[in-house]
Amino acid sequence: MAKLNNNYLKLKAGYLFPEIGRRVKSFSDSNPEDSEKIIRCGIGDVTEPLPLAARDAMKSAVDELGSHDTFRGYGPEQGYEFLRCAIANGDYRTNNISVDDDEIFVSDGSKCDTGNILDIFGNNNRIAITDPVYPVYVDTNVMAGNTGEANDDGTYSGIHYMPCNPLNSFVPEIPDEPVDLIYLCYPNNPTGATATKEQLEHWVSYAKEHGSIILYDAAYQAFIQDPEIPKSIYEIDGARDCAIEFRSFSKNGGFTGVRCAFTVVPKELMAETDSGDRKPLHPLWSRRQSTKFNSVSYPVQRAAEALYNDEGKNQINNLITHYMSNAEKLRGACSDIGLSVYGGKNAPYVWVACPENIDSWGMFDKMLNEANVVITPGSGFGKAGEGFFRISAFNSDENVTKVCDRLKSIL
């Protein structure tokens, strides 16, 4: 009989969002009159429409495909040169960060890239992951066989968890045991925290000293308001020797449904073979992508390119301003009622300590039942998230104002 991948059986059933869905449904069923009032601040999905620059570019690209002269079939597996160049210029070279066009790999999402990247790494790497965390990093390591079974508290043996809490400003300490692959995400989902240049410098020097690789998820870089906070890991000297960066158009350009992202793999980046030789990773990722992937549709790549022209940049700025003003209101409302608030200054997530004697799910239920607002319980992102909840700033002005009023009325 065909054998399945046993690692999948170690995964705990995607617990967080199904459980949220179940509780919201059960509340709506028993309170039909309140169910229309429910405001969702749970899932990290954008709410504002696609920027005009992207829509226009997409439409003309579709028309090009409709005529013999300008029709295009398969594009380059790594992404079209026009987009890779726009990215390398717009996100890196104009900020004096050296990244070549052919170090950019266009994809249909950072979720897949952060998971797929494990294809080019061996099985005996020691994996370091922050807690709380975006669940993709953990689950893809489980699927790849890099962990043991799940423990009762939801952690997996074989992963080195790095707790993030107010004491370390949600940036983990350097581990006290050697690790090979280090997942860092700043600005952070779920905590909304950012890492300073000094903090990232520590990580880069650790990685260089130990031959580790930092997998740096910068999906929320566009939300950074403070010019002192690095937007890219490559702002740190030496990071090209030890870091892969993931970026996405999902959150800045509202592309969550359109799908376009990219990964930067510097040519200097090396890892070790079983026999101890050092080899570059760039050719492996290139081989991986060209074997298993055919890039993103032409209209989508044109749409992403348009986000780098003046009109596109302006429209992105307007989106960010909108979401960040929501975040500020949410921060304000939470601190007005005496809750400790984190994040939300350079990220679209506000991370809030639950009132005394209420745990994460208790707060979820209270918000749902009394305020008809759906938040995300911090414990759903990992053990260290217990005692916190996340409010997403991805919403309309009007909804955020209501959420703030309702928060104040229940606490």
- Choose which of 42, 109, 344, 380 interacts with ligand PLP (CB under 6 A): 109
390 is an interface residue for ligand PLP by CB under 6 A: no
Least distance in Å: CB of 246 to ligand PLP? 7
Of residues 125 and 256, the one with the C-beta less far from ligand PLP = 256
Binding region for ligand PLP (CB under 6 A) out of 30-38, 205-213, 247-255, 317-325: 247-255
Interface mask (CB under 6 A) for ligand PLP, residues 112-151, using x and -?
----------------------x-----------------
Tell the residue number behind the tokens 């308001």, with chain if given: 225
Residue nearest to ligand PLP (CB): 109
295 is an interface residue for ligand PLP by CB under 6 A: no
Distance CA 378, CA 310 (A): 38
Interface mask (CB under 6 A) for ligand PLP, residues 184-223, using x and -?
-x---x---------------------------x-x----
Of residues 44 and 343, the one with the C-beta less far from ligand PLP = 44
Amino acid at 212: S
- Choose which of 95, 125, 256, 286 interacts with ligand PLP (CB under 6 A): 256
E-strand ranges in 274-354 read 278-280, 341-343, 349-353
Give the dihedral sign, CA 44/189/330/410: positive
Show contacts with ligand PLP in window 35-64 (CB under 6 A): 44
Contacts of residues 314-322 at CB distance under 8 Å and 24 or more positions apart, as own/partner, are: 315/51, 315/52, 315/53, 315/54, 316/51, 316/222, 316/252, 316/253, 319/46, 319/48, 319/51, 319/252, 319/253, 319/254, 320/222, 320/223, 320/252, 322/48, 322/397
- Choose which of 147, 250, 360, 392 interacts with ligand PLP (CB under 6 A): 250
392 is an interface residue for ligand PLP by CB under 6 A: no
Buried-state track 285-305, b at ≥16 Cβ within 10 A, e below 16:
bbebbeeebebbbbbbbbbbb
Specify burial of residue 197 (Cβ count, 10 A radius: 0-12, 13-18, 19+).
exposed
Site for ligand PLP, rule CB under 6 A = 44, 109-111, 134, 185, 189, 217, 219, 248, 250-251, 256, 261
